[in-house]
Amino acid sequence: MSKHVPGNNLIIWEFDYAMTTFYEVDTDQITSLLPKELSPMEIVPGVSLLKITAFNFPEGGLGHLPNFQELIAAIVVAPDLSRGVPKFAMYVFSLGSTSQDHLDHSADYYKLPTYNKLEYGKINHDKNELEFGDKDGSILSMNNCCNNIGDYLDHERYFQAFVSKDDDIYIADLYLKAALFEHQEQGEVGIINNHPFLKGLELFDEEKVPYLQMILDPGTKGKQFYYCLLYTSDAADE
């Protein structure tokens, strides 16, 4: 397990709720959102993965933030293997939060593509059900579709996060330490609406079949070790 020491290049975020759903999408429907330097990771020819993650962060983030909810939309892409082998790499194309201070920090420090402040992030921790929305209406509802939850495995996972700003591509190393249950059962996982949060991605007028879900063990907390961004050419020189 890696040793993570807080400093100028690392911020540690503690969360008490997390659920991720990966959705199968036609590759030709998401390529317009990707910079030309990045390639989607297809699970079969013509099918890529859209990743939606919801977090609840308790009071105290950055030393002053209130309790808030976060919603992230990303596309699974080919990783930079020179930095290691991640569980997956993602290109983040939209981030929403119920905290404006968190949005401002995410845009300034991480160069993340922040959306407007969300009006609500309703999370039922026990049932693993949630809904996020704003003045334009509901963005999505999401729920666990597995009836027989097994073991929550507590270990550290390595991810890569790509973002783009002003035609430049940046990468950040991201580690997640949490007790998670993962499954690939299929079933109803909620509804994703055609909403500006998805940056013009119009895919979902109906419920979609999930490829994979990851869920935090209820009543526990996880930690996200988010290292500072590197310009991709600088990252290649490391």
Dihedral angle sign, alpha carbons of residues 184, 187, 193, 194: positive
Give residue 207's pLDDT. 47
User: Which one, of 4, 59, 48, lies nearest residue 24 by Cα?
Assistant: 48
Give residue 187's pLDDT. 86
Give residue 230's pLDDT. 87
Mean pLDDT value of segment 147-169: 91
- Does the residue 200 lie in any domain? yes
Question: Which residue type occupies 179?
Answer: A
Query: 23-47, pLDDT tens digit by residue?
Result: 999 999 999 999 999 999 999 999 9
Of residues 5 and 157, the one with the higher pLDDT is 157
- Does the residue 2 lie in any domain? no
- Does the residue 61 lie in any domain? yes
* CB-facing half-sphere around the CA of 79: CA atoms within 13 A: 15
- Does the residue 83 lie in any domain? yes
pLDDT at 140 over 80: yes
Q: Are 50 and 25 in contact (CB under 8 A)?
A: yes
The Cα–Cα gap between 142 and 144 comes to 7
Give residue 233's pLDDT. 55
pLDDT at 18 over 80: yes
User: Which one, of 64, 148, 72, lies nearest residue 110 by Cα?
Assistant: 72
Chain-wide mean pLDDT for the chain? 90
Q: Are 73 and 49 in contact (CB under 8 A)?
A: no
The Cα–Cα gap between 59 and 46 comes to 42
- Does the residue 119 lie in any domain? yes
pLDDT at 206 over 70: no
Which residues span the domain enclosing 147?
10-237
Question: Angle at CA 121, nearest 5°, toward 68 and 181?
Answer: 85
Q: Are 46 and 30 in contact (CB under 8 A)?
A: no
Which runs of E-coded beta strand occur in 27-146?
A: 47-57, 68-77, 88-97, 114-117, 120-124, 129-134, 137-143
pLDDT at 5 over 70: no
Number of domains the chain is built from: 1
* Alpha helix positions (H), the chain: 100-109, 232-237
Domain of 110, CATH number, reads 2.40.400.10
Mean pLDDT value of segment 147-172: 91
Give residue 236's pLDDT. 47
Q: Which two tokens stand for residue 166?
A: 């002003």
Question: Which residue type occupies 206?
Answer: E
Under the banding of pLDDT at 50, 70 and 90, the label for residue 198 is: very high
- Does the residue 133 lie in any domain? yes
Give residue 232's pLDDT. 73
Give residue 45's pLDDT. 96
- Does the residue 130 lie in any domain? yes
Q: How many residues does the chain have?
A: 238
Of residues 172 and 203, the one with the higher pLDDT is 172
- Does the residue 145 lie in any domain? yes
Query: 90-111, pLDDT tens digit by residue?
Result: 999 999 999 999 999 999 999 9
- Residues facing 164 on adjacent strands: 169
- Residues facing 61 on adjacent strands: none
The Cα–Cα gap between 134 and 170 comes to 29
Which runs of E-coded beta strand occur in 152-209?
A: 153-165, 168-183
Share of the chain above pLDDT 70, in %: 92
